[in-house]
Amino acid sequence: MKLWKGSSRHYTIFVSFLAVFFMGLVCSSVAHAATQSEIIALARENLKAGQPLNNILNYFWHRSTDDKVDASRNDYAGHNLNLSASTLLFTRLGAGLEESFLLTREPASSDVLSQLVTRDKYWMNRLGPFLTYDIGEKGAVKLAYRNEALNYMGSASTVAEDSQENRSVLTLTYHLNTTNHLDLESQYWHRNFDGNVSSDYNSYQAMLIFRREFNRYLQGQIGAGYQRRDFTQKDLDPANAFTFNLGVTG
């Protein structure tokens, strides 16, 4: 249901329902499942050329399938903001800025590999400038920096730690033709934890990504690479992992 629409922006109110089941330990052996309902979300999107803005405000109500468990303490107002702006400095050199802000209780939103089952509320902000150089028909080069701040709000958990991350990304793109592209992406980042539970670490990752544009609205990609993680705690061995991604965007 659209409330207003102009030449450069529109407002949308939508209602949805989402059921999420998760297992959480109570005491030492009793588990409970809960459902989560997203009732109202307010979205605003600015579609000005070169300055897309997506801003979503939502509120989550919780109820438990176990009458003995009060799940309402997990009710919260969330926020999801994404902004990307870019400009052309010279004929081939461009610059831009990407910003994202997230306010949530979902552990996987900060780390898809997270094993936390707590519903601690936190905010995460990512801010990163970038430079691009167009090589013409052959390809492009992109150099980016990103700072990430993760902050838990009044958490009583001993495993939920605030942290800071600084990341650099270099992407070399080769255009096979007008619809198929190869990206060689290398990343280096350092994450620093405020507490003493997790070890600070440095990560290095390289990936080769194939992208295909099916049409002006749909694009698919598949990539594979390798990551190494060195921990600052001397008693921890480095971690090495094969990385891959597969996705479709539209």
What does the DSSP 8-state code read for residue 26? E
Same domain, 85 and 105: yes
Distance CA 195, CA 174 (A): 42
Do residue 198 and residue 245 come from a single domain?
yes
* Whether 124 and 161 share a structural domain: yes
Which structural domain range is residue 8 located in? 1-74
- Pair (91, 207) in one structural domain: yes
- Given a cut of 50, whether residue 2 has pLDDT beyond it is no
Tokens of 169: 């990304």
End residue of a domain, out of 74, 98, 119: 74
Residue partners of 166: CB distance under 8 A and separation at least 6: 145, 146, 147, 148, 189, 190
Residues 119, 62 within the same domain: no
Task: Note whether 191 and 85 are same-domain residues.
Answer: yes
Task: Tell whether 45 and 154 lie within a shared domain.
Answer: no
143 and 234 within one domain: yes
* DSSP for residue 161: -
pLDDT at 70: 78
Of the two residues 124 and 18, the one the predictor is more confident about is 124
* Beta-sheet pairing, 163-175 with 139-152: antiparallel
Identify the pLDDT of residue 146. 97
Dihedral, 208, 213, 214, 219 alpha carbons, nearest 10: 70
- Chain centroid to CA 56: 14
| Residue pLDDT, tens place only, 112-139 | 555 566 778 899 999 999 999 999 889 9
For the chain, the domain total comes to 2
Write out pLDDT tens, residues 80-90.
999 999 999 99
Angle, CA of 124, 130 and 135, to the nearest 5°: 145
Contact indicator for 122, 152 with CB cutoff of 8 Å: yes
CATH number (domain holding residue 144): 2.40.160
- Residue 134, phi then psi, degrees to nearest 5: -90, 120
**Closest CA relative to residue 150, chosen from 112, 200, 111, 114:** 111
Q: Which amino acid is at 195?
A: G
Contact 28, 66 (CB under 8 A): no
pLDDT of residue 202: 95
Which of the listed residues 74, 97, 117 is the one where a domain comes to its end?
A: 74
What is the rounded average pLDDT for all residues in the chain? 79
* Domain end point (choices 52, 74, 96): 74
- Inter-residue contact 223 to 195 (CB < 8 Å): no
In this structure, are 188 and 120 located in the same domain? yes
Instruction: Compute the distance between CA of residue 181 and CA of residue 173 in angstroms, rounded to an integer.
Output: 7
For residue 59, give the nearest of 74, 48, 69 by alpha carbon: 74
Per DSSP, which regions of 180-218 are E strands?
Answer: 180-193, 201-213
Q: How far apart are CA 190 and CA 164, in angstroms?
A: 8
Residues 140 and 58 in one domain: no
Neighbours of 230 (CB within 10 A): 15
User: How does pLDDT run across 196-242, given as a tens digit for each residue?
Assistant: 888 899 999 999 999 999 998 899 999 999 999 999 998 999 989 99
Do 63 and 45 fall into the same domain? yes
Mean pLDDT of 175-204: 93
CA distances from 9 to 48, 50, 229 (A): 7, 13, 43
In this structure, the answer to whether residues 117 and 67 fall within a common structural domain is no
| Token reading at 123 | 């905010």
